[in-house]
Each structure stands twice: as C-alpha cells, then as structure tokens.
Amino acid sequence: MKKVSVIVPVYNTAKYLRRCLDSLVMQTLEDIEIIVIEDASKDNANEILKEYEEKYEDKIKVFHNKTNKGIGYNRNLGIKKATGKYISFIDSDDWTNETMYEKMYEKAIKDDLDLVVCKFHKILEKDDDLIEIEPDFKVPYFKNTSLKDNPNLLLDINLAPWNKIYKKELLENVMFPEDLKYEDAIVVVKAMARAKKIGMVDERLDYYLVRSKSETTVMDKRVFDILTITKQMIEELKSHDYYNDIKEYVEAMMVTNLFRYTLQQKYQKDKKIKDKFINEVFIFLNKEFPNWRHNKIWKRRNFLKRMIESNKLLTKIYCSLF
C-alpha cells in the first residue's frame, strides 16, 4: 500500500501539465502514486503524459477515457484505482510545494487524522504573467478537532478538494456528482462531517491557479447547479446526530456561500440568467432557512456587504454596475 495517492484529472491542460507533474514527481515523500485520468484531451497532453509515464513508471499511472467524461467521473475513477492509505486531488493546472505530501502525511499519521488541510497560494494568470493574490479563504489555524466540536470549520475551510488529504476509508461510498458543476463541495462537506478527527498543517503548500476561462470562472446557466449541491450539503449535515448543535453554523455557511455566487453574477453576460439565479437563491434560502436574516454568525460579516447581499434589488444593481 502506498502512503498517498494523488489523483490528477487532465483535460486540455498541456500548457500547465509539466509544472503540475514536476511538482508531484519531486515530492519529498517518495512512497506516493500519481494517478492521472486523461479525459480525451484535444491538445498534446497525451504526448506529455506518455513521456512522464515512461520516465517515472514507478510513480505515475495513466488511464485514458475514450470520450470526455468530466471531472466528477475522473475523480471517482481515480478513487477506485487508488491504493494509498490517504488520497489527495490536484487539478492539472495547479502545482504543489515539494514537501506538501510529506508534511501532511506525517501530520496525519502522528495524530491519527482522517482529514488534513493546509493553506494555499492563489495565483492569477494574466496573459503570460502569474500574479499572487489573496485567497477568498485564508483557512485560519486550528488544533486537531472535528466538525461536531468545531462547527466554525464550515466557514473556515474552503470547499475545494485539492489542499487536503483524506484517509481512504473516509471516501468509501462517497462519490463526486458526475452531472453537476461545483461537484467538489459536497464531497468536502461529507468528508468533514464524517471525519472523527481533522487536523491542519499551518503552511501554504498548494498553488491554486485561476485561469480567465477555466471551469471555475466561466459563468453560464450551470450556475444553478449550486442550488442542487447546496441542498445535498444540507441533507448530509442533517443526517448526523449532532446537526442541531451546529445548525446555526450550517445556515451561516449556506447563506455566505450562496451570496458569493449571487455577487459573481456580475460576470454573467446573460441578464435573464443573472436575474433568475438571484431570484432563485432568495427563494431557496427563504424555504430552507426562513430566519436566515437573523443568523448571528452571518451577521458578523461586514455591514455594507450584508446590506447588498441580503437585498435582492441591491444585488442586481451591484451586478449590473460592477
């Protein structure tokens, strides 16, 4: 059994692929496997993968899809192929510090953790330049804990899968939705909710690249998928016997997260989709959390931001002007 399996979905990212793979094969933790799921790319990603697979045959395994399946399918396939005690995910345009998996694995083993989180760099690609910007989530340091004992983790930990390692058993019977955008959020929430012990390496070890036309930055009608994903997250958290103890944090998390997406509609070119999405978010919140406006945790946010976020008309004006 390997110590860590790193799952790398690849689709049309040849431009970034060498940097990603180099950061993985140079890891100071030697006993890792790199599982690449090549998703019928149309660029020269396959040529690069063949080169690396031959050069690092003891570390890299490449699986090819005959047709494009999407990132949810690829991550699920990677989990099935993984033999590591712990599993991690990385997007093929991102990269890591060479000590990342050694530090996170050692923390996991030393403290018997189900889930380990680290801080990360957020890098903006602008033409041919890379500019470091402040992440939306700064992941404050926390001692070993669980969601039951520290529900503030719902607000502090980012919902992306890549700056984390998961004990393999934690992902049993957990699958990424294969037909929805924002598929990673529900998996991270399930992992946090089911983990008996969560810990942190208090260093920025991961590099998250924001591309101008990446999957996460393009605004289209699939933005409505976040409502389905949010409903799934609520249902998962409600299924745990400690839900009533963390309910206010769950509500604050869902409100904060959905309003992040309403404000992002300033990038939405289709006004009908923009207005419809904003309307549906308010309908959703009023149905799921009728008293959300009185949530004490959400009300800790900046007053001006809350004024805009909580007012449908002001949100639409903001998205039209900025």
Whether 271 shows a pLDDT value over 60: the answer reads: yes
Confidence of residue 215 (pLDDT cuts 50, 70, 90): very low
The confidence score (pLDDT) of residue 128 equals: 80
The confidence score (pLDDT) of residue 116 equals: 98
- pLDDT tens digits, residue range 131-158? 999 887 788 899 999 999 999 999 999 9
| Contact (Cβ atoms closer than 8 angstroms) between residue 309 and residue 263 | yes
Closest CA to 255 of 273, 275, 233: 233
Percent of residues, the chain, with pLDDT higher than 70: 98
The confidence score (pLDDT) of residue 214 equals: 53
Token pair listed for 106: 């050692």
Give, rounded to a whole angstrom, the gap between the first and last alpha carbons of the chain.
52
Whether 20 shows a pLDDT value over 70: the answer reads: yes
Domain ranges of the chain: 4-210, 221-321
Whole-number average pLDDT of the chain = 95
The pTM assigned to this predicted structure is: 0.94
Whether 218 shows a pLDDT value over 70: the answer reads: no
Whether 110 shows a pLDDT value over 50: the answer reads: yes
CATH number given to 4-210: 3.90.550.10
Which residues face 118 on adjacent strands? Answer: 201
Token pair listed for 176: 């990424």
| Contact (Cβ atoms closer than 8 angstroms) between residue 79 and residue 27 | no
> Between these two residues, 140 and 281, which has the higher pLDDT value?
281
- pLDDT tens digits, residue range 164-198? 999 999 999 999 999 999 999 999 999 999 999 99
Measured from the Cβ of residue 22, the count of other Cβ atoms closer than 10 Å reads 13
Confidence of residue 57 (pLDDT cuts 50, 70, 90): very high
The confidence score (pLDDT) of residue 135 equals: 82
Residue the block writes with tokens 């149905």: 287
The three-state DSSP-derived secondary structure of the chain is CCCEEEEEEECCCHHHHHHHHHHHHCCCCCCEEEEEEECCCCCCHHHHHHHHHHHCCCCEEEEECCCCCCHHHHHHHHHHHCCCCEEEECCCCCEECCCHHHHHHHHHHHHCCCEEEEEEEEEEEECCEEEEECCCCCCCCCCCECCCCCCCHHHHCCCCCCCEEEEHHHHCCCCCCCCCCCHHHHHHHHHHHHCCCEEEEEEEEEEEEECCCCCCCCCCHHHHHHHHHHHHHHHHHHCCCCHHHHHHHHHHHHHHHHHHHHHHHHHCCCHHHHHHHHHHHHHHHHHHCCCHHHCCCHHHCCHHHHHHHCCHHHHHHHHHHC
Whether 129 shows a pLDDT value over 90: the answer reads: no
Pairing of strands 32-38, 4-10: parallel
Least-confidence region, from 28-42, 59-73, 200-214: 200-214
Which residues face 117 on adjacent strands? Answer: 164, 200
